[in-house]
Amino acid sequence: MLDTKIIDAHPYKRYSKTILSDKEIRERSQFFYEAMDSRRSVREFSDRPVPQEVIENLIKTASTAPSGAHKQPWTFCVVENPEIKKQIRIAAEEEELQSYESRMSSDWLEDLKPLGTDWHKPFLETAPYLIIVFKRIYEFGVGGKKKNNYYVQESVGIAAGFLLAAIHHAGLVSLTHTPSPMNFLTKTLCRPENEKPFLLIPVGYPAQDCWVPDIKRKTLDDICIFY
């Protein structure tokens, strides 16, 4: 039996995956749910180093996400340098201060109270790594001609989800941080014009005495409808 073939002039390979029993699938789905249900956004990080190989594996996992026309429209910038992290913190806190003082509505601020957030972002320097996810709006083709990517927002969002799951699975913690606007990241990291910042994710170990809000998730009945 052939393992490869050509379809419309493009190479294909046979997809092989072990078919599990219903019992095994149930057990796996329950185990993964329980594991991910223990994930929390953390704002109190340890400065304990994380092996770079681990970060590389996390990025490779994120890059397995599906994307429109398989364009893979993402760049993951990994920041370990203390001086760059300091620059990012200063710029992020400037934007966050304006947001908390004048940009956010009263309803928004009220909704944030249970989470205990404010414009101070010390974790941007404490966490051993910052992963900044950039979305690539287009690519440069022959002669510098712009070539659009497709479903960029959706594709990068899926990759970010893969990344967060991989971080948790590895035994680390993270936070989805979105200072708005985030254009300062483009300048700080010297990214090209076709890349726009999408998400800033501090990654590391939780602080020894780490606290998170005791929040509850919506029930299955609240979020799912079977037809």
DSSP structure class, residue 3: S
Q: What is the pLDDT of residues 121-157, one digit of tens each?
A: 999 999 999 999 999 999 998 888 999 999 999 999 9
**Amino acid present at 12:** Y
Regions of the chain with pLDDT less than 70: 1
What pLDDT score does 2 carry?
76
Measured CA to CA, the distance from residue 42 to residue 215 in angstroms comes to: 13
CA 7/CA 106 separation, integer angstroms: 57
| Residue-wise DSSP of 46-66 | ------HHHHHHHHHHHTTS-
Task: Note the pLDDT of residue 61.
Answer: 98
Helix ranges restricted to H, 68-210:
82-98, 106-112, 123-126, 152-169, 183-188
Structure tokens at 7: 């379809």
With vertex at residue 81, the alpha carbon angle to CA 79 and CA 84, rounded to the nearest 5 degrees, is 80
C-alpha distances in Å from residue 222, one per residue of 66, 114, 201: 27, 21, 28
Amino acid making up residue 55: I
Pairing of strands 4-7, 10-13: antiparallel
- CA–CA distance from 179 to each of 59, 91, 152 (Å)? 22, 9, 20
Whole-number mean pLDDT of the chain? Answer: 96
CA distances from 2 to 8, 12, 19, 85 (A): 17, 11, 20, 51
Q: Look at residue 143 in the predicted model and tell me its pLDDT.
A: 86
Which tokens belong to 183? 């254009």
Instruction: State the Cα–Cα distance between residues 64 and 61, nearest whole angstrom.
Output: 5
Q: What is the chain's alpha carbon radius of gyration, rounded to the nearest angstrom?
A: 20
* Run of H or E including 202: strand 195-204
Element (H, E) at 12: strand 10-13
What is the predicted pLDDT for the residue at 144? 84
d(CA 11, CA 87) in angstroms, rounded, equals 46
| Confidence (pLDDT) at 180 | 85
Check residue 179 and give its pLDDT. 87
62: tokens are: 């994120």
Q: And the tokens for 97?
A: 């201060």
